[in-house]
Amino acid sequence: MSSDGMRDKINVASFIRVILIVAGVLILSAVGFFVANTQIHARAAFRDAKNVYLALSATEIEYYAAGKTIYDPTMEGNLAEGVRERVEKLADSEGTYKIVSYDVKNHRLTGLQYNNGNYYVDYTYKKGQSKWEVKYMMTISRYDD
């Protein structure tokens, strides 16, 4: 084989290696961006959910002083009349929320679900322990008729 033929094979192999390295770097960069972006939005959803929780707690204190409670299982989101408006004034949040569970005896919020876009934040309180979970929900497929 001539040296020109050998040089052509080496150039093609080098070119393929460069293409594979560039493709690998692009793929890793895209994955890194997706993970970082997801974490940023998850922290924002968590912060908003905590603001809603604190606003609900403050509103519960006000309602308790008036002999009422923020919890009403017959209303949308299990929120008593006027609670949503009060929480919107106190908490700067863009998502939706609902009370999932409530300790009527101790006037304590024991379960909250907050939703903002694809991010879901669940709060639970059991046996003196608070637990927060942030979840990312991604649509895999959608079928329309």
Q: Taking a C-beta distance cutoff of 8 angstroms, is the pair 110, 130 a contact?
A: no
Q: Taking a C-beta distance cutoff of 8 angstroms, is the pair 105, 125 a contact?
A: no
Q: Is residue 131 part of a domain?
A: yes
Work out how many domains the chain is built from and give that number: 1
Q: Is residue 35 part of a domain?
A: no
Q: Taking a C-beta distance cutoff of 8 angstroms, is the pair 123, 111 a contact?
A: yes
Per-residue pLDDT of the chain (145 residues; tens, 9 = 90+): 556 566 667 788 888 899 999 999 999 999 999 999 999 999 999 999 999 999 999 999 999 999 999 999 999 999 999 999 999 999 988 899 999 999 999 989 999 999 999 999 999 999 899 999 999 987 788 888 7
Q: Is residue 143 part of a domain?
A: no
Q: Is residue 104 part of a domain?
A: yes
Q: Is residue 144 part of a domain?
A: no
Which residue range is the domain that position 79 belongs to?
Answer: 44-136
Task: Report angle CA 39, 41, 44 to the nearest 5 degrees.
Answer: 110
Q: Is residue 103 part of a domain?
A: yes
Q: Is residue 108 part of a domain?
A: yes
